Chains A and B, each alone.
Chain A
Amino acid sequence: MDSPQNISMEEAFALAEAEAKLSAALLESKERFSKATMPDRLNEDWRFGRPHVYARELAARITAAGQPRQAAPLEQDDDLRQTEMLMPTIGSDALLALHLEHFGTGEAHYIEENTTTPLHVSYTAATALTPSTFIMVAPGIRAEVEITYTCADSSCIFATCNIQVAEGAELRVRVHAEGHGTDARCMLITNIQNMGGKVAHLTSYKSLRWAREETVAETYTPDSETRLFSANHLIGEAVLDQHTKQIHHSGGATSDLLYKNVLADNATATFAGNIYVAPGAHHTDAYQSNRNLMLSEDATVNSLPGLEILADKVRCSHGSASGPMDEEQLFYLLSRGIPHYEAHQLIASGFLDEAIEKFNN
């Protein structure tokens, strides 16, 4: 690396300009947080999300647990803190502000070499945990990451994850959140910035009373490919509230999303997705699909797949389908002698496997 004395005039200007941009952005985000209020029923990003119940409860648990000072490896790193300050949310700026107050727990990984085995990151909450994870993959590098969140009964995890993938890099991230007992809760805010690499991101939520996901996947350069998946089998009183944005800042990139749920008992799933193709981001390919298999008459699905297309030469589609198990499939399995319960299980897990399979490939 050049020492500051050796840089050219142009480089110095570029550096100064970048710094000015950053400080302006930080100022802006400070303003954003100062204006942010706790989500309420007029917050469209919390439509069907019952913010007065769930957002409030999350904030209460985080606040009650206090700040975990001992385990705060990220605390001294201003760059990471700034990254988190700049990350977008989907209707939860006020909650992100709360997260920033507790900033410090978490891990940062700069991946500069190909990895053969997945990198494991895991967090376990006994009462409340607010981890931040940073994953940066260098150009041309292939990597795989598994993030696991485990929540004890009555505890919660409120996590952020920032993923940056450089040109030609390939990253596969598998996120699994699991709860114990009857009242574990989890909220994940994720920002994926794709600068010309390939990213596959899979989330799954298990045994959580409440889970909310806000995933914003941004593509900045042509030839970026971002694929988002989720596969969940929701039982009991589980509430899953997923919000996604596929933002195409530049043209010539691809994004794809497949979120699938199997719902039993009293489970509720909300999916609100948006594909945003910015003006001038021509030749974009973007797809989005939400599929729900309903197994119980008390299950509820809210599906809000959205498109906002401001560019030309775009191939975009979205779909949403919610319905009961296919009678013909069931009959086919039964006709081969597979008992009712097993046949249901097979079809339900096969339904979810489609998303997992696509993530794996």
Chain B
Amino acid sequence: MDETTFQIDTRGAFSMPENHKFDAGYGLTEETIDYICDAKGEPDWLRQFRKEALRKFNEMPMPFHWAPEGIRNVDFENFRYYLSHGATPSRTWEEVPEDMKRTFERLGVPEQERAFLAGVDAQYDSETAYTNMREELQKQGVIFVNSTEGLKEYEHIFRPWFGKVIPVGDNKFSALNHAAFSGGSFIYVPKGVKLAQPLQAYFRINSESMGQFERTLIIADEGAELMYMEGCTAPQYDSATLHSGVVELVALKGARIQYVTVQNWSTNVYNLVIQRGLAMEDAEIRWIDCNLGSGLTMKYPAVVLQGRRARGEVVSISLAHSGQLQDTGARMIHAAPETTSNIVAKSISIGEGRASYRGEVKVLKGMKGCKNNTECDALLINPASRTDTYPAITVHGNASAVQHEASVSQVDEEMLFYLQQRGLTRAQAMSLAVNGFINDLVKEFPMEYSVELRRLIDLEMEDSIG
């Protein structure tokens, strides 16, 4: 594929004037929820459900006892909980309102869709502006719609799994999402159907003080396979923006789901996301996660290994420059025998940036033949850069093996000198070294994304050192 096709604005540092039909205003109350439900035309059970979630959200404490300090600055009163142009997405780009269309074109979304995607869901603030999928997939029975449409049209599939992987009361932020969710994808891949090309979601925040609470549920039926990719950007504002999505994956017997994220929010965005997958017998779930943007990210993709021989994997890259805290990691819950999991996390801290790995691996009582392997490597670029590692491992019994290794290193000065002597600038040399550090992980991303990733990293290095 021609790489130049993707010379697109991957940083998304631009904005369009606000033009909303619906605006629920600041703060989250029962009235806000009524406003959202009315705007979306939701059934009564959902309204009650959201209100119950709001009650839980208000009752539950913030996780101050373990979360990074920065979370104390999150002020839920200062966000706008629903901004949209209407709840019905377009099926063609022509029908998408001009400002949104121009936004996604600048971000390269339609172009990528034509080139290599099986389907696209493009969210603008609270609602999906565009959803479409290739026709042959529709014929195979694949469902790819936004969450509102999913609950409306496919309630019989959506509702039984809704909030089952990540329950309302799991933590304060899951309660928040259950109360305020809007947008996100609902995907169902029928038995044995294997998607050759990825489905993509693009989450765009345009408005100031936005709170985006997308909700994604992906169900891969027995033997089904799919890859889902999400990208996200927002313009830089002085005021804070909150992104607090919930993603639930269900991989039934023998199914395989790969979920790829390239997160590049602006630094005024709090990125507090819950992602968890349920892997049944012989199923596999892989989270391939890259966090480049946002001022504070707290994100620990999880796999609950629920069926015998299920496999889980998290591949994670984090890059933190000054003003950023990437608190990322992984969770693996071995709830069935002979389940295996793998975590590879690499982080890079630049300037006064801070990258933390936080992880949990649990082998439950009575489980035999479980295996986990975790590797965390941190690269520190400057004297003031910071890295932390906080894993928690629990193993029951004598028939499972769990291993965790972590290391911290710096870019070898000798190597930089060597490269500079050959004529590279220090930034270029550093960029090469950083790319080398994460090279094996970047390969895990689809080719189109890995090209973009390398470009983004080059940009970051130039800005911080060049």
Instruction: Write the nearest CB–CB distance from A33 to chain B, whole angstroms.
Output: 20
A304 to B390, CA, bound (A): 7
Q: A282 on the interface (CB 8 Å rule)?
A: yes
Answer yes or no: A172 CB below 8 A from chain B CBs.
no
Closest B residue, CB atoms, query A311: B383
Bound complex: CA A318 to CA B392 (Å): 13
Chain B at the A interface: SS class: strand
B73 at the interface (CB under 8 A from A): no
Chain A residues, CB < 8 A from B366 = 297
CA distance A137 to B393 in the complex (A): 38
Cβ distance A322 to chain B, nearest Cβ, rounded Å: 4
Interface residues in B, total, Cβ within 8 A: 35
**Binary contact readout A304-317 vs B (1 if CB under 8 angstroms, 0 otherwise):** 11111111111111
Residue-wise interface mask of B (329-354) relative to A, using a CB-CB cutoff of 8 A (1 in contact, 0 not)? 00000000000000000000000000
Find out whether the CB atom of A301 lies under 8 angstroms from the CB atom of B398. no
Of B14-22, B198-206, B297-305, B402-410, which binds chain A?
B402-410
Q: B65–A317 contact, CB under 8 A?
A: no
Q: Which residues of A314-356 are within 8 A (CB) of B? A: 314-325
Contact B410–A313 (Cβ < 8 Å): yes
Ranked 4 nearest A-B pairs via Cβ? A323-B401, A294-B398, A312-B383, A307-B389
* Residue A42 CB within 8 A of the other chain: yes
Q: Given A307-B406, A314-B380, A323-B402, list of 10 further CB < 8 A pairs?
A: A297-B398, A299-B398, A306-B391, A308-B388, A309-B378, A312-B380, A318-B389, A320-B403, A322-B395, A323-B395
List the A residue with the shortest CB-CB distance to B377. A317
**Closest chain A residue to B400, Cβ basis:** A323
List A contacts of B65 (CB < 8 A). 42-44
> Given the complex of chains A and B, what is the CA–CA distance between A282 and B391 in angstroms?
24
Chain B residues with Cβ below 8 Å from A324 are: 398-401
Q: Does A101 sit within 8 A of B, measured CB to CB? A: no
Interface residue total, chain A, C-beta cutoff 8 A: 41
Of the A-B pairs whose beta carbons lie under 8 Å apart in the complex, a sample of 11, sorted by A's number, is: A294-B397, A302-B394, A304-B391, A305-B406, A307-B387, A307-B406, A309-B378, A317-B407, A318-B406, A319-B404, A322-B401
Given A309-B388, A314-B410, A323-B402, A298-B382 contact (CB < 8 Å):
no
CA distance in complex: A44, B392 (Å)? 12
Residue from B384, B385, B396, B400 having most chain A Cβ neighbours under 10 A: B396
Alpha-carbon gap, A125 to B399, bound state (A): 38
Residues of B within 8 A of A47 (CB): 392
Q: A302-B392, A307-B388, A307-B389 are in contact. Are A316 and B408 (CB under 8 A)?
A: yes
Q: In the complex the two chains form, is B395's CB within 8 Å of A301's CB?
A: yes
Q: Is A83 close to B, CB under 8 A?
A: no
B389 touches A303 (CB 8 A): no
Docked CA distance A317–B368 (Å):
29
Residues of chain B lying within 8 A (CB to CB) of residue A280? 383
Output the least CB separation between A80 and chain B (Å): 34
* Inter-subunit contact B66/A44 (CB<8 Å): yes
Query: What's the nearest-Cβ distance from chain A to residue B401, in Å?
Result: 3
Q: Decide yes or no whether B51 CB sits under 8 A from chain A.
A: no
Chain A CB within 10 Å — which of B366, B387, B389 has the most?
B389
B286 contacts the other chain (Cβ, under 8 Å)?
no
- A279 within 8 A of partner (CB): yes
B386 at the interface (CB under 8 A from A): yes
- A295 and B388 contact, Cβ closer than 8 Å, known pairs A312-B410, A321-B404: no
| Cβ proximity bits B400-425 to A, threshold 8 Å, 1 near / 0 not | 11111111111000000000000000
B-chain residues with CB within 8 Å of residue A301 when the two chains form the complex: 393-395
Q: Is A150 an interface residue (CB 8 A)?
A: no
A292 interface residue, CB < 8 Å from B?
A: yes
